A and B are shown apart, each in its own frame.
Chain A
Amino acid sequence: MPDLRDLYQQIVLDHNRSPRNFKELPDANCTAEGTNPLCGDEITLYLRVEGDIIADVGFQGSGCAISQASASLMTSAIKGKSKDEAEGLFRAFHAMVTAGPGTKPDTTKLGKLAALSGVRQFPARVKCANLAWHTLHEALSGTGGRVSLE
């Protein structure tokens, strides 16, 4: 039986109420847009990449608490990291939220991102948590495109 307190942890509610890095970066050199057409969540992600390092990051968008908190937590986690490190976090985060109900995923390397581990108990909400991360993946691997989670 999933517990709502696992999904809506205080840190998640806090990042939803006061999202970090919620801004457009005028000097961004890498951007991508992500949408979740079924529920209407949307996010625009702005990165300033210097060499291999994500020097600054911002996002704008609207959506449910999980999508907004996930975007906010992600931007805090990747600022100052290398592109490879960010991709590594993407893989670890993705594995955590898609581990399925009843599992105990390894969250040791994820820091505050572990606050979203409860999402794995709510399969209908996994896409909400993943939206920002898929958008980041697109921004880093593509030339700045659009992600649509169908």
Chain B
Amino acid sequence: MTVRRVATQLVTTRSKRDVATVRADFPVLAGSANGKPLVYLDNAATSQKPRAVIDALTQFYSADNANIHRGVHELSQRATLAYEGARGKLQRFLNAADPHEIIFLRGTTEAINLVACSYGRENFRAGDEIILSAMEHHSNIVPWQIICEMTGARIRVIPMTDSGELELDAFRHLLTDRTKLVAVVHVSNALGTINPVKEITALAHEKGVPVLVDGAQAAPHGPIDVQDLDADFYALSGHKMLGPTGIGVLYGKSALLDAMPPYQGGGDMIRSVAFEKTTYAPLPAKFEAGTPHIAGALGLGTAVDYLRGLSWEWIQSHEHDLLVHATETLQEIPGLRIVGTAARKASVVSFVIDGVHAHDIGTILDQEGIAIRTGHHCTQPIMQRLGLSATARASFALYNTHEEVEALAEGVRKVQEVFG
């Protein structure tokens, strides 16, 4: 096992006090499920929301609601300022060079579809190759398959080891003159693996190939610097990082976004429209057709404020402690095997139990108030690669506690009791 205990007694004591304060900010965590205190360990599916985010939505709809970029009236100006303010927050969150490199969309899925439809349709030709990795979420596979069918390009796959690490040597060999794009996940939702994105972009750029990074699972766990990573596109979802559902971001380098055709046509994305010819608005409006999820963007901006207020140092140290604790506790249970044992992992623990299907594990834990995810996690190629049909997955967030890790282990023992 490569995850090692690095926590000191001091850090654990500090974490305990701080995490209680943090939990008080999340109203849902005080609730219950099936008559037991809620133990929410399904954070890779979606995170819970702090009161500040909930209040930001309420405040907008109660006091400031108007459409943006249109009205001369006071409310519309307030809404526009708040929406563009949120864009600035996301720019700083990702360390993008310019706010117009931040495109607000529904989420990671739409961000990847935008790049596939716009960049892909413009640049892919028959015989071209798109490189994905063996651990992609379906949302970073299917959009490329659709565009490959339309253009005649084809998909190549970076293989992974049994422990869930990408084989970079194989990647080097996959990169050829035919390669037109690399699309790779930053943190695997099913295995927790943190991929060496900076190394991947460096290798791809040696061949002049742009890289899209699916950052949905990375954003809530640590600082992201798109310029340092040298990512050409970076996609994330608000709801996985304490923000609302239905809002996410595509970051793209200005030069790439500028050269790309629009993804959707409609209001707000135009400079002028005539039946003979329409000219498009500059970035970011070119890619934000129609009225966007204004309140969602404000909520996401507030979520970013909240994360920055806590400090990444504390979040990363606390989540690492939870990962180590969960890994050590679960792997002591006979008959349980952890799936995904990469050296660098986010706080995700996937596991299987001899003789018990993941759905039965999920139902029994649910009776204990413990929410986990079971199934293929929208990563069927990973399951096929590892010869599994499903896993149970506990995924931890900054507000989870060591007591919840113990509750999970206790729940797993109960599963084994039921299945005797």
Contacts and interface: CB of A to CB of B under 8 A. Distances in A.
A1 B376 contact: no
Given A1-B34, A2-B367, A38-B375, A63 B357 contact: yes
Given A125-B359, A125-B363, A40 B390 contact: yes
Contact of A4 (B35, B355, B364, B389): B364
Interface in B348-406: 355-360, 363-364, 367, 374-376, 383, 389-390
B418 interface: yes
A7 B420 CA distance: 15
A65 B357 contact: yes
Interface residues of B, number: 20
A40 B376 contact: yes
Interface string A74-90: 00000000000000000
Given A40-B376, A62-B389, A128 B359 contact: yes
A40 B418 contact: no
B419 interface: yes
Contacts of B389: 40, 62-63
Nearest to B361: A64
A7 B419 CA distance: 12
A122 to B, nearest CB: 6
Nearest to A38: B375
A64 B359 contact: yes
A38 B389 CA distance: 12
A8 B418 contact: yes
A13 B419 contact: yes
A64 B357 contact: yes
B360 A66 contact: yes
Contacts, number: 46
Nearest to A10: B420
> Which label, helix, strand, loop or mixed, suits the secondary structure of the A interface?
mixed
A39 interface: yes
Interface residues of A, number: 20
B375 A124 contact: no
B359 A39 contact: yes
Contacts of B390: 39-40
A38 B419 CA distance: 23
Nearest to A42: B389
A122 B420 contact: no
Contacts of B374: 39
A17 B367 CA distance: 22
Contacts of A7: 363
B375 A65 contact: no
Interface of B: 34-35, 355-360, 363-364, 367, 374-376, 383, 389-390, 418-420
Cβ-closest 7 pairs across A and B: A64-B357, A64-B359, A65-B360, A40-B389, A64-B360, A39-B375, A8-B418
19 contacts: A1-B34, A4-B363, A7-B363, A8-B360, A13-B419, A17-B355, A39-B359, A39-B375, A39-B390, A40-B383, A41-B359, A63-B359, A64-B357, A64-B360, A65-B356, A65-B357, A65-B360, A66-B360, A125-B359
